[in-house]
Amino acid sequence: MSTPMTAPKPAAAASLTMVVTAMMAAIPMITVVMWFVLAGDGIGDFPGGWAPILVVALAVGAYSFCELAGFRAPAVPPGGQPAEVEKQSWQRFTSSTFVRFALSEAVFLVSITIAFVVDSYWIVLVGAVLALPLVAWEAWPGRRNQQRFAAALEAAGHPSYLLGRPQDY
C-alpha cells in the first residue's frame, strides 16, 4: 500500500516537472551568454538610479500577481468520471503553471532589455537572482502549488483529483 508521499506521480506531473526544469535552466544559461555580450571590460560598477529599482519592482509585481491571481480557477463542476476530472484538473493546472512561469521569467527578460539600455551586466545578474527563486516558488509543480490550485478547483466541494485519487494512496 502506498502513502501520499510514495504514491506514483501522474504522467502529467512528471512531464510538467521536466518541462519547468528545462525552462528554468535557460535562465542561468542566458545569464552566462549575456556575460560575453555585456561584460567585455569586466563586471563594472553597480548602476545606481532607476534600473535596479525597476527590476526589483517588476519582481515584486510578478510575485504579487502570481500569489493573488495565479492560483485562481473556476471550481470543478459536479459529476464526471474521476479519471476525466483528474485529466481536466491537470490541464488547467498546467496552463496556470505556464502563465505563472511566464510572469516570473518576464522579470529576467525585461532585465536583459534594461541591461542593454544602461549598458550594465549587473542588471542581468539582478534579474537572474530575482527570477530564479521566483520561478521556483511560483511555477514549480510541487505539492504547495498543487494544493493551492486544488483548493481553487475544489471550492464548490467537488473533488478535482489533482492531488491524486483515493486508490493511489
Q: Which three cell numbers stand for residue 104?
A: 516570473
Q: In sequence order, what are the residues at sequence separation of 6 or more whose Cβ sits closer than 8 angstroms to the Cβ of residue 127?
A: 55, 107, 108, 109, 110, 111, 112, 114, 115
pLDDT over threshold 70, residue 8: no
Identify which of 44, 56, 30 has the alpha carbon closest to the alpha carbon of residue 121: 44
**Contact between residue 110 and residue 122 where contact means Cβ atoms under 8 Å apart:** no
Taking the model in full, what pTM does it have? 0.87
pLDDT over threshold 90, residue 136: yes
**Contact between residue 76 and residue 156 where contact means Cβ atoms under 8 Å apart:** yes
Over residues 29-39, the pLDDT tens digits come to 999 999 999 88
Q: What is the pLDDT of residue 10?
A: 74
